[in-house]
Chains A and B, each alone.
Chain A
Amino acid sequence: MSESLLQIHERAPFIAGAQTSAGKALVWLAGCGLLAWHGAPLLMLPAFTLVLLWPRHRRGLLALAALGMIAARFLPQALPWDEGFHAGWLRFLASTAIGVAAVLLMVWGALRFDRLPAAIRARPILWLHVLAGIALATGVWTEIWLLTLAPVLLWRASYLYRTAAAGRAAGTRFRDHLMYLMPVFGGTNTPYGKGLEYLNRTEARTPEAFARSQLAGIRLLLLAVALGVLLDLLLVLAHGQPDTLFRGAFAGWSPRLPTLGQVIATAADPRAAVGWAAVYLHLIVTTTKLATYGHVVVGALRLLGFNVFRNTYKPLYSTSIVEFWNRFYYYFKELLVEMFFYPAFYRSGWASPRVRILIAVLAAAFAGNAYYHLLRDYRIVFAGDWPAIATYWIPRLIYCLLLAIGIWLSMLRQQELRKRSGPPAGGLRRLRAIAGVWTYFGLLQVWLVEPEVAGAARRSGFFASLAGF
């Protein structure tokens, strides 16, 4: 029975039931309730409702919702409401109009890709990022409200122009691209659901596929509720944190272990056992938080009829570093692999296979990863405070480098293991492999965890204290 309930998206009676009027009403109720519980974007509720009623018009509806998302981004300019029509309203209307025009222009360029100048056609994504870089370097990005769209748009537009450069945007329409450029289903600067090509492949085209996708979405949103509750329970039991669902309950039982961030923020190192507990707990908390957030976005996408992969899929069961990387933050990894790894791999055919993989991994997990965060955290760089820049960036660059080396070694090891035929490791060997992965990624977090004011020296000191030094 429990198996049947967990697999609602795979069971024929549930799928058939979800296609009836009563079933659709239940799906709508469950979907709206869960989206509201998780604090999904407000526009998601009407978008979901309309797509449920008219799935054939899904893309048009989501394109309209995308335009609404642009307006919603600038809405704070029109506040406060009680002052009637004031200058902020004009700013809001102008920003929205220019924002919509900019996004439409971006799509227009991709749809007419073969008419763009040859230099741009040769390296469209590079040009896109050069323009973003100019906006950053000249301060335009930081000064003009309109360009607050840029970090969200940039990576999604990279997928758009990648499709256009491959000649696969021909025959597509504005609505096909608008729906993911400013997604109503949420996401970070990383495009959950990638671009049109992946969404195309995963879009439900029959009532049965739509019902299956929506049930899979509800299942994921329910899983996110469960993970949220478990996370809060862990936070209160391990750290005695009061701001959880449980309020003050259970806090009396907590050993009140410091979090990894607290350990790094204090000058004195804790006992090694407390330090290690902070490392492993932080890994579990970070993974659960990311999984919960990703399940909400992917759940929303599935409710809309795009049965995409989960963003996080059981990373803590991974037996290798590369497997963890693949399962932890799938859409970020895909972004790095598609935009950095493969271009570097293709262009380094002159190198030996091992060196070639190293170059590609460094391009993705080190250079691409660092560049992504440079764009995300551009304010720190452009503030011009060099000690603050060094304090923030040196640990992050160490993190990126260690991550890249770990992935490279893991990929080589996996290739060797694939050559040996035999069943996958089980029992103690599997547990040992999982423990190794936990330890590796737990220790990596030492270089990444907030506070940003803790520099490399402090983090190195804590690192050494874990080994008893």
Chain B
Amino acid sequence: MAGTEGTRAALIRFLGTIARSGQSVDNVADDQNLIDSGVIDSLAMVQIIVYLEREHGADLLAVGFDPAALASVGGILKAIAAGNQ
């Protein structure tokens, strides 16, 4: 549980570095679509993919994740969990 909380906190910190100017990620819900709500733009997902690959060793192609599934905090956490399996 602590690991999951730590992973989420680290993810939120990272998302704060790629959020659009003037957008905060501190209070986003896990199921909130970050692109639809304007928190990040779709090209910033590149950095999310690189983050997942570098920080969590995720091979997204191998686990069949598509970018749309990485548009929410919950989706990214699922990808991290899938990569860890």
Residues of A within 8 A of B (CB): 162, 166, 197-198, 201-202, 309, 322, 326, 333-334, 337-338, 341-342, 345-347, 349, 353, 357, 360, 411, 415, 418-419, 424
Residues of chain B with a CB closer than 8 A to A346's CB:
49, 60-61
One of B41, B47, B53, B60 near A326 (C-beta < 8 A): B41
Residues of B within 8 A of A (CB): 17-18, 21-22, 33, 36, 41-43, 45-47, 49-50, 53, 59-61, 66-69
Taking a contact as CB atoms under 8 Å apart, the answer to whether A166 and B61 are in contact is no
Closest Cβ of chain A: how far from B51's Cβ, in Å? Answer: 11
Residues of chain A with a CB closer than 8 A to B66's CB:
162, 166, 342
One of A202, A309, A337, A349 near B61 (C-beta < 8 A): A349
Closest Cβ of chain A: how far from B42's Cβ, in Å? Answer: 5
Q: Who on chain A is nearest to B22 by CB?
A: A424
Residues of chain A with a CB closer than 8 A to B68's CB:
166, 197, 338
Taking a contact as CB atoms under 8 Å apart, the answer to whether A360 and B46 are in contact is yes
Task: Kindly name the residue among B18, B45, B67 whose own CB sees the greatest number of chain A CB atoms within 10 A.
Answer: B67
Taking a contact as CB atoms under 8 Å apart, the answer to whether A415 and B47 are in contact is yes
Taking a contact as CB atoms under 8 Å apart, the answer to whether A418 and B17 are in contact is yes
Q: Who on chain B is nearest to A194 by CB?
A: B68
Q: Who on chain A is nearest to B60 by CB?
A: A346
CA distance A419 to B59 in the complex (A): 25
Task: Kindly name the residue among B53, B68, B69 whose own CB sees the greatest number of chain A CB atoms within 10 A.
Answer: B68
Can you report 10 A-B residue pairs in the complex whose CB atoms are below 8 A from each other? A166-B66, A201-B33, A202-B36, A309-B36, A326-B43, A341-B43, A342-B45, A349-B61, A357-B46, A424-B22
The 5 A-B pairs with the shortest beta carbon distances in the complex, nearest first, are A342-B67, A346-B61, A424-B21, A326-B41, A337-B42
CA distance A326 to B45 in the complex (A): 13
Closest Cβ of chain A: how far from B47's Cβ, in Å? Answer: 7
Residues of chain A with a CB closer than 8 A to B33's CB:
201
Closest Cβ of chain B: how far from A331's Cβ, in Å? Answer: 11
Residues of chain A with a CB closer than 8 A to B61's CB:
346-347, 349
CA distance A125 to B62 in the complex (A): 19
Closest Cβ of chain B: how far from A307's Cβ, in Å? Answer: 10
Closest Cβ of chain A: how far from B36's Cβ, in Å? Answer: 6
One of B22, B53, B69 near A349 (C-beta < 8 A): B53
Residues of chain B with a CB closer than 8 A to A342's CB:
45, 66-67
Taking a contact as CB atoms under 8 Å apart, the answer to whether A322 and B43 are in contact is yes
Residues of chain A with a CB closer than 8 A to B47's CB:
415
Closest Cβ of chain A: how far from B7's Cβ, in Å? Answer: 22
Q: Who on chain A is nearest to B41 by CB?
A: A326
Closest Cβ of chain A: how far from B20's Cβ, in Å? Answer: 9
Q: Who on chain A is nearest to B68 by CB?
A: A197
CA distance A284 to B22 in the complex (A): 27
Taking a contact as CB atoms under 8 Å apart, the answer to whether B67 and A338 are in contact is yes
Q: Who on chain B is nearest to A338 by CB?
A: B67
Taking a contact as CB atoms under 8 Å apart, the answer to whether B43 and A337 are in contact is yes
CA distance A170 to B37 in the complex (A): 26
Closest Cβ of chain A: how far from B49's Cβ, in Å? Answer: 7
Taking a contact as CB atoms under 8 Å apart, the answer to whether A345 and B46 are in contact is yes
Q: Who on chain A is nearest to B47 by CB?
A: A415
Closest Cβ of chain A: how far from B23's Cβ, in Å? Answer: 12
Residues of chain A with a CB closer than 8 A to B42's CB:
326, 333-334, 337-338
Decide: A345 near B41, CB < 8 A? Known: A197-B68, A201-B33.
no
CA distance A419 to B18 in the complex (A): 9
Taking a contact as CB atoms under 8 Å apart, the answer to whether B46 and A201 are in contact is no
Closest Cβ of chain A: how far from B70's Cβ, in Å? Answer: 10
Residues of chain A with a CB closer than 8 A to B41's CB:
326
Q: Who on chain A is nearest to B45 by CB?
A: A342
Residues of chain B with a CB closer than 8 A to A309's CB:
36
Residues of chain B with a CB closer than 8 A to A360's CB:
46
Residues of chain B with a CB closer than 8 A to A418's CB:
17-18
Residues of chain B with a CB closer than 8 A to A415's CB:
47
CA distance A419 to B17 in the complex (A): 7
Residues of chain A with a CB closer than 8 A to B53's CB:
349
Other A-B pairs beyond A342-B45, A345-B46, A347-B61, 19, CB < 8 Å: A166-B66, A166-B68, A166-B69, A198-B36, A334-B42, A337-B43, A338-B42, A338-B67, A338-B68, A342-B67, A345-B49, A346-B60, A349-B53, A349-B61, A360-B46, A411-B43, A411-B46, A415-B47, A424-B21
Closest Cβ of chain A: how far from B65's Cβ, in Å? Answer: 9
Residues of chain B with a CB closer than 8 A to A326's CB:
41-43
